[in-house]
Chain A
Amino acid sequence: MSDFVEECRREWKRLGVPDPVANEMAADLTADLQEAEAEGGSPEDVLGNSAFDPRRFAASWAVARGVTSPLASEERPSRWRPTVAIALTVLLGILTVAAGLALVVGVRGRSVAIATRRIVAVPGPIRVFPSGLGRIVPGPLGPFMETQISGIGLHPLALLLLIVGVVGLALLAVLYWWPWSGSRRYHRQRDQRSPSWN
């Protein structure tokens, strides 16, 4: 069975078309497509430009036969999708603004440090022990702490977050919010092609 018919079957299943009706339509379609192919023709000879949009074709046929409702054949908007898109947009927006502010305010040179060891004072030379042992020695050991604690510079971190935020927002804009993109583009194209003759 051709990919086109398979795609139609999936759409009929999604629309709740009864199996006997779907089987009948699929059999008729398959027979016609095979006949056209045997005669050297193409699916377009049988289906017109519907050959390029199996889901639309399958839905309009099912609606015309009265085995599904026109409302069911409409693309069901996903409930979670707008919510996720809004949440991502807000999150990325906050991230971008915060990263931009951090860069503007000038945090160059500062660092976020994660101490993995503690420096303790013991008789004799200064030694480094795993965390949990001894006590933290303040002030005077500052210079040693600088050398013992690893950290991440805030400037590159802010820059990285800014890039992630901007790229993320751009991707979201292209994939979802832009009027000619994503699911909206599908609806626009759907209205422009594949007349259903109904």
Chain B
Amino acid sequence: MASTEGRRTQLLRGVLDLCLLAVMEEGPAYGYEMTKRLRARGLSIVGEGSIYPLLGRLERDGVVETRRAASNGGPPRKYYSLSREGARALKAGVSEWQATRDAVDGALGLVKAEVRP
């Protein structure tokens, strides 16, 4: 049986790419900016892995596009944005996630459990 932390990591592993694509839908963002957007939506990566390797893979797969631009008063940053293929992948992924979530909710819904923040 996986520990609580191990399960959270495994669950995140399967959907973090979707979460990154979702925050990119807000607009182009650099690495740490995406981390902050995720946190603002209630998803903290503290205690989990870094998003940089995942961003690298998304870039290599052509799901995101990048450009280097000046940030607000800071050094030039690498901005990530959704490619056309990325936008399609996001829609498909969200649909898949919702179906999976509903099915899991159906299986677990009757179990009374204390929900931790």
Contact = CB atoms under 8 A, between A and B. Distances in A.
A28 B48 contact: no
- Interface of A: prevailing SS: helix
A161 to B, nearest CB: 49
Given A48-B46, A195-B9, A195-B13, A28 B31 contact: yes
A60 B53 contact: yes
Contacts of B71: 31
B35 interface: yes
A65 B59 contact: yes
Nearest to B16: A197
Nearest to A193: B49
B75 interface: yes
A148 B19 CA distance: 88
Contacts of B46: 44-45, 48-49
Interface in B70-87: 71, 74-78
B89 interface: no
B115 to A, nearest CB: 23
A46 B32 contact: yes
Nearest to B72: A35
Contacts of B48: 48-49, 195
A63 interface: yes
A36 B60 contact: no
Contacts of A69: none
A35 B74 CA distance: 9
Interface in A28-58: 28-29, 31-32, 34-36, 44-51, 57
Nearest to A31: B75
B10 to A, nearest CB: 8
Contacts of B55: 64
A197 B78 contact: no
A116 B49 CA distance: 69
Given A31-B75, A44-B46, A48-B48, A198 B32 contact: no
B95 interface: no
B56 A64 contact: yes
A183 to B, nearest CB: 22
21 contacts: A27-B75, A27-B76, A28-B31, A28-B77, A31-B32, A31-B71, A32-B30, A32-B31, A32-B32, A35-B74, A45-B46, A46-B32, A46-B50, A48-B50, A61-B50, A63-B53, A66-B60, A196-B54, A197-B54, A198-B53, A198-B57
Interface of A: 24-25, 27-29, 31-32, 34-36, 44-51, 57, 60-61, 63-66, 194-198
Given A29-B52, A32-B31, 10 more contacts: A27-B76, A28-B52, A31-B30, A31-B74, A45-B35, A46-B31, A61-B50, A64-B60, A195-B12, A197-B17
Interface of B: 9, 12-13, 16-17, 30-32, 35, 45-57, 59-60, 71, 74-78
